[in-house]
Amino acid sequence: MRIGILTSSRADFGIYLPLIEKLKADHFFEVDIIAFGTHLSPFFGESAKEIRKNGFEIAYTIDSMLLNDTPDAIASAIGLTSIKFAEFWKNNGDKFDAIFCLGDRYEMFAAVVAGIPFQINFIHLHGGETTLGAIDNIFRHSITLASNCHFVSTEESAARVESLVGKKENIFNVGALSLDNISTLDLLTIQGFEEKWGIDLSKKTILTTFHPETVEFSRNEYFAAEIVKAIDFLEDYQVIITMPNADTAGNAIRQTFISHFSGSNRVFLIENLGQQSYFTALKHVSFLLGNTSSGVIEAASFGKFVINLGDRQKGRAAGENVIHVPVELNSILNAVSRIQTSEMFTGQNLYFNNGAADQIIQVLKQFSND
């Protein structure tokens, strides 16, 4: 069975990783990685190099990123990506039995939309979720409608996909695929992390990622300023900031962090930690601060509390470890005070379903037999 993997960013590749490894180890499958989006952008760390460095071959690359992050630039990037993928599907679409697509990014949406006239057999991961503070919510549901098979992360998501596509068939709740990485990745030691990044995780540390709110993108500069104030106030902690992704007005956040924290010996700006280092940080930090999906989906498995800022993740199912607050200094500091009274979160992760990659492979083989 020949499988294509559409990957547009460091984030989705990290989620795909346990599935790709198991597909490649199984002689039943032939796997081609199709890299595009920020993977190919030097501005965002050119993470395609990291993919190859980790021993994975990239079969195809499609370059369509624009450096600007205004609404018209994002719309143009969607159009350009669709045009380039139209040519790709025309020349290569019939080579694949199925194509995996993941999540809700506009680049992924553009790649999938271009495949609809060619009747590409798309398999969607993480459909049915809701993020009301991001226009990605629209892209995610559109990708769901274009796909023939759905591997979702919760029963709530399964029900939403069913309501979108109008049928129960080919919807499978396997949990969050990224959680497979916890048992398969060899995490760095504290010493190994310090040797790689120059950061001592034995110190009290906050892990921060704040992506743009793309529904109210005009407020991103204000949000970044409030986060800066909070970090300045929390001087007992060192802070690791992973930089925002390529969304509308994301550069305003990026430049605020760079101008304020460059040269700091307490706040570290990192473009791309990679899955191994990111999970190592998750294991050792005091808590998470920001609005990334990994806080909602993955942090509970590491016993970490999360201060989820603003509306980007609004509507997504979240566990009791997630504290939702507005992007406002006093609200952030009050949430930190609440977290400091509890050392660890001891509850369950609602996104865990005991081996997502194995469940996906089992379904794929069943499809092949049918």
Residue 345 lies in a domain: no
Please give the radius of gyration of the chain, using alpha carbons only, rounded to the nearest integer.
20
Residue 100 lies in a domain: yes
pLDDT for 370: 66
Does residue 256 sit in the same domain as residue 114?
no
pLDDT for 130: 87
pLDDT for 246: 65
Residue 143 lies in a domain: yes
Local structure of residue 154 (DSSP, 8 states):
S
In the predicted structure, residue 247 carries a pLDDT above the cut 70: no
Q: For 223-228, what is the mean pLDDT?
A: 96
pLDDT for 210: 94
Residue 141 lies in a domain: yes
pLDDT for 248: 64
Does residue 92 sit in the same domain as residue 215?
no
Reported as a single tens digit per residue, the pLDDT across 132-175 is 877 888 999 999 999 999 999 999 999 999 999 999 999 999 99
Residue 347 lies in a domain: no
pLDDT for 164: 96
pLDDT for 220: 87
Helix extents (H) in 30-175: 48-53, 71-92, 106-115, 136-146, 155-165
pLDDT for 219: 85
For 133, the token pair is 């503070």
Taking the C-alpha atoms of residue 239 and residue 157, their distance in angstroms, rounded to an integer, is 33
Does residue 143 sit in the same domain as residue 14?
yes
Q: Helices 274-284 and 190-197: crossing angle, nearest 10°?
A: 130
Does residue 215 sit in the same domain as residue 363?
no
In the predicted structure, residue 19 carries a pLDDT above the cut 80: yes
For the chain, the average pLDDT equals: 92
Does residue 148 sit in the same domain as residue 17?
yes
Cβ atoms within 10 A of the Cβ of 226, count? 20
pLDDT for 260: 95
Residue 181 lies in a domain: no
Residue 183 lies in a domain: no
Residue pair 4/100 in contact by the 8 Å Cβ criterion: yes
Q: For 184-205, what is the mean pLDDT?
A: 96
Does residue 148 sit in the same domain as residue 201?
no
Provide the percentage of residues in the chain whose pLDDT is more than 90.
73
Does residue 144 sit in the same domain as residue 240?
no
In the predicted structure, residue 28 carries a pLDDT above the cut 80: yes
Taking the C-alpha atoms of residue 7 and residue 13, their distance in angstroms, rounded to an integer, is 6
Q: Which residues contact 43 (CB under 8 A, 6 or more apart)?
A: 67
Instruction: Tell me the CA distances in angstroms from 10 to 17, 36, 176, 336, 366, one per residue in order.
Output: 11, 11, 17, 29, 30
Residue 309 lies in a domain: yes
Containing structural domain, residue 104 = 2-175+353-369
- Report the domain count for the chain: 2
- The label of the residue with tokens 């669709």 reads 82
Does residue 11 sit in the same domain as residue 121?
yes
In the predicted structure, residue 367 carries a pLDDT above the cut 70: yes
For residue 9, give the amino acid letter: S
**How far from chain centre, in Å, is Cα 289?**
16
Does residue 334 sit in the same domain as residue 364?
no
Which range, 43-52, 156-165, 310-319, has the best average confidence (pLDDT)?
A: 156-165
Taking the C-alpha atoms of residue 5 and residue 46, their distance in angstroms, rounded to an integer, is 18
pLDDT for 169: 95
Does residue 208 sit in the same domain as residue 335?
yes
Does residue 165 sit in the same domain as residue 64?
yes
Reported as a single tens digit per residue, the pLDDT across 60-113 is 999 987 766 788 888 998 999 999 999 999 999 999 999 999 989 899 999 999
In the predicted structure, residue 231 carries a pLDDT above the cut 70: yes
β-pairing, 238-242 vs 30-36, is unpaired
At 205, which CATH number? 3.40.50.2000
Does residue 286 sit in the same domain as residue 239?
yes
